[in-house]
Amino acid sequence: MRDTETPPLSAPSGRKGPDSPDLSEGWGEQRGRLRKDLRRLDVLFFLICTLVGLDTIGSVAAQGPQGLTWMAILALAFFLPYGLLVAELGSAFPVQGGPYVWTRLAFGRLTAGLNQILYWISNPVWVGGSLCIIALTTWEEFFTPLPGVWKYAAGLVFIWGGALAVVQAVRFGKWVPIAGAVARIVLLGFFLVSVVVFAFEHGVHALPAGEFTPTYAGFIALVPVLIFNYVGFELPSSAAEEMTNPRRDIPLSILRSGLASIVLYGGPILGILFVLPGKEIGSLGGFIDACKAVFTVYGGHIAADGTVTLSGAGSVFGGIAAAGLIIGLLTSGVTWAMGAHRAQAVACADGVGPAWLGKIDEKRGTPARVNLLSAALASALFVLALNLTEGDGEKYFAAGLGLTISTTFISYVITFPSLLVLRRKYPDTARPYAVPGGRLGAWVVTTLATGLVAFTVVVLIWPGFGVGWFGTEGNAADSLPPSFAGQRLAYTLSQVLPLALFLVIGLVFYALGTKTRRAKG
């Protein structure tokens, strides 16, 4: 029943069923350089750092109270099925490379290779795009302006600082997601405490019950960022052979981190809605502006026109919070990179990319070459985007975030159905955790997860898809990011052209892996 184009790949654990795939070819040479330094608590912090995104909190809050309603709906319709799906795949096939290996076993090298390019390249797009611009905006809001060349210098420091963290050995590198998770918990917890203090002193904005009513237009606007903040469960599986017990730790960490992320993500959104008037919440600066407003309770004031000035302890706490936010943004990119880069290295070692990119550094046990290439790409994208948008932060943010999400989600459209295919191809593989409900349960979770990410890709490429159809209210043009108002063609090209380029890169990588594939026979 095995795909003849997919030579078997082998889980090192030894705990396999009689029909388990052998995953030794292509990766075996590099396996001995890995270090088993990831324990259960490390994986939990890794996932919290991955799931709790600080760059999209403002985007959700900008849509008003219905954002919380859609957040709850999608927690059941997407987050839960997606978590169940990844828990089975990650525990049944605990092999370095995670998502690449699953799609490779299910659909063959070519499909998996192209899919992996999209999954990997979304990270430099994200780091050089929305993460970088929010970090720079935060710095300018709380510290000092970055005129001219200083903005480029600061962005490159952010990108290469992250690259330096990613390239470190796991026993050192794992402290980055741990620090990121702690920074999130402290920052978001302190923000919520400050909101309570602010509410006692100044009151809060009323949130009428009617504003929580979900609408289709709101769904179209929110589904990309909400689902984007619900993904990342598969990342630890990319480092499965660096875990002490992946079969046990992956499912358990998914459950715990999923519950934590809903609390850590939903609380700040509610806090922003209480503090800022709806019309003043921006996608880029919503969370930043809310922090400044609530910290006036420690020192500072809000002028009649809404301008916030911090002083004394308020200024100190504002600076600390800004540093925490920047650390949170940086560690988001680093944590995703730690997973996506490892998967790309496995893919290259397996013959769907340049063999030299598949090498694991003997001293550090990490894919140093992929890490450095990713940092170079992020730097180039950062400089290019900043010039194309003429320094317009909102436009840069909207285009970069949209491209990051669509690129990642197209890869998920291929990865998620692997669950059904691998159940058929390897029915006797030991599955420490399996999606409840047998075949029907597997079909339900796969359909929900795959269908929602596929729909999200359509919505991102064509904002407003379906708005005004079948009696729904609204105008499709209003769904464009505000920074692209009246510029649908420009926005669509900012998404489609890079996606086409990424697929070409995938084909080039596949061609460059020909020698490796032939050597394996």
Number of neighbouring beta carbons within 10 Å of residue 207: 15
Ranges of each domain in the chain = 36-520
Higher pLDDT, 262 or 354: 354
Token representation of residue 469: 């159809």
- Highest mean pLDDT (candidates 154-163, 175-184, 195-204, 390-399): 154-163
> Which are the contacts of 157, defined by CB distance < 8 A and separation ≥ 6?
none
Residue 150: pLDDT above 80?
yes
User: Could you tell me the pLDDT band of residue 417, with boundaries at 50, 70 and 90?
Assistant: very high
Buried b (16+ CB within 10 A) or exposed e, 240-260: bbbbeebbebbbbbbeebbeb
Phi first, then psi, for residue 302 (nearest 5°) are -115, 120
Question: Would you tell me the crossing angle of helices 418-425 and 80-92 to the nearest 10 degrees?
Answer: 40
Per the rule left: phi > 0, alpha: psi between -120 and 50, beta: everything else, 15 is beta
238, 97 in Cβ contact below 8 A?
yes
Nearest to 71 by CA among 286, 280, 222: 222
Nearest to 205 by CA among 281, 315, 299: 281
pLDDT of residue 415: 95
For the chain, the average pLDDT equals 80
Kind and range of the H or E run holding 221 = helix 216-228
If you average pLDDT over residues 212-225, what whole number do you get?
82
Residue 172: pLDDT above 70?
yes
The span from the CA of 387 to the CA of 309, in Å, is 31
Number of neighbouring beta carbons within 10 Å of residue 322: 21
236, amino acid identity: P
pLDDT of residue 21: 55
Residue 224: pLDDT above 80?
yes
pLDDT of residue 1: 33
Strand partners, 301: 309
Token representation of residue 260: 């934590």
Number of neighbouring beta carbons within 10 Å of residue 470: 6
pLDDT of residue 367: 84
Tell me: the pLDDT tens digits for 47-57? Answer: 777 777 666 67
- Highest mean pLDDT (candidates 101-115, 126-140, 202-216, 485-499): 101-115
pLDDT of residue 243: 67
Nearest to 119 by CA among 381, 452, 450, 406: 406
Nearest to 237 by CA among 167, 82, 342, 124: 342
Kind and range of the H or E run holding 308 = strand 308-310
Per the rule left: phi > 0, alpha: psi between -120 and 50, beta: everything else, 338 is alpha
pLDDT of residue 263: 75
The span from the CA of 250 to the CA of 356, in Å, is 30
1, 425 in Cβ contact below 8 A?
yes
The span from the CA of 519 to the CA of 22, in Å, is 18
User: Could you tell me the pLDDT band of residue 62, with boundaries at 50, 70 and 90?
Assistant: confident
Token representation of residue 214: 């979900």
pLDDT of residue 395: 67
Buried b (16+ CB within 10 A) or exposed e, 412-450: bbbbbbbbbbbbebbeebbbbbbbeeeeeebeebbebbb
pLDDT of residue 212: 82
pLDDT of residue 11: 43
Residue 13: pLDDT above 60?
no
If you average pLDDT over residues 442-468, what whole number do you get?
88
User: Could you tell me the pLDDT band of residue 10, with boundaries at 50, 70 and 90?
Assistant: very low
User: Could you tell me the pLDDT band of residue 286, with boundaries at 50, 70 and 90?
Assistant: low
Task: Calculate what percentage of the chain has a pLDDT beyond 90.
Answer: 18
Q: CA-CA distances (angstroms) from residue 451 to 228, 322, 382, 496?
A: 14, 37, 32, 20
pLDDT of residue 473: 67
If you average pLDDT over residues 209-234, what whole number do you get?
82
Residue 37: pLDDT above 80?
no
If you average pLDDT over residues 288-312, what whole number do you get?
80
The span from the CA of 137 to the CA of 489, in Å, is 27
If you average pLDDT over residues 213-236, what whole number do you get?
82
If you average pLDDT over residues 39-63, what whole number do you get?
73
Higher pLDDT, 370 or 7: 370
For 90, how many CA atoms within 13 A lie in the half-sphere containing its CB? 27
The span from the CA of 218 to the CA of 405, in Å, is 18
The span from the CA of 282 to the CA of 279, in Å, is 8
Residue 248: pLDDT above 50?
yes
User: Could you tell me the pLDDT band of residue 511, with boundaries at 50, 70 and 90?
Assistant: very high
Residue 411: pLDDT above 70?
yes
Is pTM beyond 0.75 here? yes
pLDDT of residue 278: 56
Token representation of residue 361: 């550094």
User: Could you tell me the pLDDT band of residue 402, with boundaries at 50, 70 and 90?
Assistant: confident
pLDDT of residue 4: 36
Kind and range of the H or E run holding 496 = helix 488-512
Burial class of residue 214 in the structure, from the number of CB atoms within 10 Å of its CB (0-12 exposed, 13-18 middle, 19+ buried): middle
Phi first, then psi, for residue 10 (nearest 5°) are -130, 125
User: Could you tell me the pLDDT band of residue 444, with boundaries at 50, 70 and 90?
Assistant: very high
The span from the CA of 237 to the CA of 96, in Å, is 7
If you average pLDDT over residues 289-311, what whole number do you get?
80
Strand partners, 87: none
Number of neighbouring beta carbons within 10 Å of residue 487: 14
Provide the CATH number for the domain formed by 36-520 in this structure: 1.20.1740.10
Nearest to 272 by CA among 205, 323, 202, 181: 205
Residue 141: pLDDT above 60?
yes
The span from the CA of 503 to the CA of 520, in Å, is 25
Question: Would you tell me the crossing angle of helices 418-425 and 99-107 to the nearest 10 degrees?
Answer: 60
